[in-house]
Amino acid sequence: MKTIILSVLGLAVVTSAIPSDYEDDLIFRRAVNDQCKAPEGTGSCQKTSNCAGISYPTGLCPKDPADVQCCVKINCNVPKVGPGFCRSVKNNGCSGGTFHSGVCPGNSDIQCCVKAIAGPPTPPTPAPTEANPCTAAAYDKLMFSDSISTFMSAKNSKSPSCFNWGDDGCSCSPDELFGYDFLDPCKRHDFGYRNGKNMGRFDATLKEKVDNNFKDDLYDVCNKFSGLQSFRGVECRRIADIYVAFVKKFGKKKRDETSTLLQKRECDLKSALGL
């Protein structure tokens, strides 16, 4: 403590006693980074946004802007939690961390602020693996459920592309026997054989199912003839039966050979008729 005596017009005036350190900060201006003293210790005048410790909004850095306050940095450590800085719960807060009481000097408002420790970065989520669209269910739908026109739309767009869409038609010869267009049924029949084998599914059971579907597709062609053209439907089914019989007994190769023989028969018949 000290006593200040002022002489004014020859009169001695004795001021009241003033604390030498703490109260000095209330009288003299403190520039940023100047030393200041607070109840919890010595600090420096700092912008509150830069203060990691306790800041005092009580004029310890007088005449400075409101956001410049006395900042006292006191380290603290919370067992099993980690290190931090003592801060005022009321005035400073603990952005991005948590307050812990009982480890800082001063009243209950002064607590240890421990920032959350960032863990290892979360690895990026791997891109989902695109499922293979060429499943047994997709094969069965195209082969046995879809209409021949729906199948041909998928074939023309090669969708899905993972299927084998190649074909050799009904044979190396033209695909209309006696005016019956069996080309699309032959293409679906090729699809059934090729992809069934590629998928490892082509056993005797699947072969029979594919061959029976081939017969259904051929008969659908024949069923287009009615009324006065009914006789053509009968002949068409007879030719279809020949196709299917050879296919069931010998496989797709014999289907193509049968097509060639029937083509030859048609040519011989037309030649005999002078057509």
- Catalytic residues, by residue number, are 189
Write the DSSP string, 92-152: T--TTEEEE-SSSSSSTTEEEEEEPPP-SPPPPPPPPPPPPS--HHHHHIIIIIS-HHHHH
Tell the residue number behind the tokens 């032959």, with chain if given: 186
Check residue 199 and report its DSSP letter.
T
- Taking a C-beta distance cutoff of 8 angstroms, is the pair 97, 114 a contact? yes
Dist CA 29 CA 63 (whole Å): 6
Give all strands (DSSP E) within the chain, no chain letters: 5-8, 11-14, 35-38, 41-47, 54-56, 68-72, 75-78, 82-88, 97-100, 110-115, 176-177, 180-181
Quick one: which of 151, 228, 227, 219 has its CA closest to 180?
A: 219
